Amino acid sequence: MSDPLSRLGGSTARRLSRLGALARFGFGALRSLATLPAAGRAVALRVTLNQIRFTATDAIGLVVLLSGILSFLVISQAVRELGQLGATDFIGTLIVVAIVRELGPLITALTVAGRSGTAIAAELATNRVLGEVRALEAMGIDPRQYLVLPRFFGSLVSVFVLLVVFDMVAVSAGLAAARFNGMVAGRYFQIVLQSLALKDVWLTVAKAVAFGLIVGIVPAYFGLAVRGAPTDIPVATSRATVTSIVGIFLCSALFVVIG
Amino acid sequence: MTVPLAIDGVPLGAGGGGARDLAPLTVAVPAHEVVALLGDEGSGIGRLGGYALGLERPPAGRIAVFDTIIADLPERERLAYRRRVGYLPAGDGLLQNLSLRNNVALPLRFGSDASPREIEGRVSVMLVAARVTGVASLRPAQATEEERRRAAFARALAFDPALLILEQPFDGLTTRTAAELLELARGGEIAEGARRTILITGHELPAGLHHRVERVYRVTRAGTLQLEPA
């Protein structure tokens, strides 16, 4: 029987090995872009646009709702509480740092992971179980070019687009909340713009890219890793979602450290 | 002379070295001939296509396609080499989210540098040859089994391959349709004008097709290979 330390070591080694496999999968998918012929690029672009429609366009309503409610609640409370202390200037920091820089990317990525990541994992796992991936390989088609790259770029673009929507709605809902609590619009924008630095912009963009990578690659990896029966599909979907969520939180923590 | 497909000492049966493993199989598919390898469900005959294309490795022995073991090639060359072989997997392997037309076009779009116009032209020719033009816009789930199989044949022939591997190609088809599709597969369209080399694997071959196939082998329960009379 192995001791707890060995078990812990074994578990860590397995996780690191999976991380390595994920990284190899991601790099392999990106590298396959170089050998994509022109006609294949046109097909991949069509699939990518379809992915963006499903992941970004169809999710705008949900992101608007989440962002609007979150921002309205936070700013309403902040204006009231900070107003009593005479520190309403801090709502700028709250909007920029807490909502735009931290919660915006986090909630957007979690929304995409929960809504589209699961769909990607389930779809690719089904492709695998139905023998479609095997058929692609047998025909000399790299499944990463047809199945992975469009979902990867689709997720990347979608997270970025939804993040912009989230931030715009958050700032607008914050304005509504501030006005609702007696603050004039000019003052609100002055406070927000004063709190906004260039670092906030590039950090938000970097997060959108990093989270887009996670949401695009992790579900595709777990979906294509399925080997057996249809009963493996929900298992793969669940693993993909959990791993994406953990990855997004870990990545978010890393950005706090480096930012 | 290069043998299009040579199977040398590949064990069949359940695999894994158990009691259900059969004797190693050695057989060659000569150029321009149609060879059928038939066997029961547990004979493992259905794995030969995957072994030949390098999708899996046989537990022992080797399968060479035009003197090349595809599984030994580097990844990109392996993919490119597979395009020399037309493959019809058991159950057709069509992509469910694509129309029959796009299923036929897919290998050409991802595996050739042909222009979209050339690809569309080739796809149209294949759809006419397989007689599925009228239903080409349907997705596999909307088409009948025969239409799906016809489209799968058209896709397998898209690159005009010199060698075809067909897994259970005629299951569920009438003898007339099976004969028509076998003739389409044999073709005469390759550059030399010669007929294609074909390996058919499956459980049974429709009786009316035996005279159209040069050799029919059956893997017996003992694992030996028996040549069936024409």
Which chain A residues contact residue B109 at CB under 8 A? 37, 39-40, 42-43
How many domains is chain B partitioned into structurally? 2
- Residues B192, B209 share a domain: yes
Q: Exposed, middle or buried by CB within 10 Å (0-12, 13-18, 19+), for A104? A: buried
**Residue B114 with chain A: CB contacts under 8 Å:** 39
The answer on B200 and B104 residing in a single domain is no
Q: Is the pTM of the predicted complex or chain greater than 0.90? A: no
Rounded Cα–Cα distance for residues B205 and B203 (Å)? 7
User: Which residue, B136, B160, B184, sits at the end of a domain?
Assistant: B160
The 10s digit of each residue's pLDDT in B110-149 is 988 889 999 999 999 999 999 999 999 999 999 999 999 9
- Residue B39 pLDDT > 80: yes
Final residue before a domain boundary, out of B112, B139, B160: B160
The DSSP annotation for A151-201 comes to HHHHHHHHHHHHHHHHHHHHHHHHHHHHHHTT--HHHHHHHHHHH--HHHH
Of B158, B157, B210, residue with least CA distance to B184:
B157
Q: Tell me which residue of A173, A176, A180, A178 sits closest to A191, measured CA to CA.
A: A178
> What CA–CA distance (Å, rounded) separates B51 from B57?
5
- Quick one: B221 and B149 in the same domain? no
The answer to whether residues B16 and B73 belong to one domain is: yes
Q: What Rg do the C-alpha atoms of chain A give, in angstroms?
A: 21
**Tokens in use for A224?**
């294509």
Q: Which amino acid is at B172?
A: G
ipTM at complex level = 0.87
Touching A: B residues 22-51, CB under 8 Å: 49-50
What are the residues whose beta carbons fall under 8 Å from the beta carbon of B81, sequence distance 6 or more?
A140, B54, B65, B68, B70, B73
Are residues B145 and B155 located together in one domain of the fold? yes
Burial of B80 per CB tally in 10 Å (0-12, 13-18, 19+): middle
Looking at B116, B142, B160, the residue that finishes a domain is B160
Minimal C-alpha gap between B230 and chain A (Å): 31
Tell me which chain A residues have a C-beta less than 8 angstroms from the C-beta of B94.
132, 135
Question: What is the residue range of B188's domain?
Answer: 1-84+162-230
Note whether B116 contacts A131, CB cutoff 8 Å.
no
- Name which of A139, A141, A144, A151 to mutate to probe chain B: the one with the most chain B Cβ atoms within 10 A of its Cβ: A139
Give the total residue count for chain B: 230
Closest CB to A131 among B82, B89, B111: B89
* pLDDT profile of chain A (259 residues), mean per 10: 70 81 91 88 92 94 94 86 80 84 92 94 93 92 93 94 94 87 84 86 90 94 89 93 95 87
Of B89, B90, B87, the residue nearest B107 (C-alpha):
B87
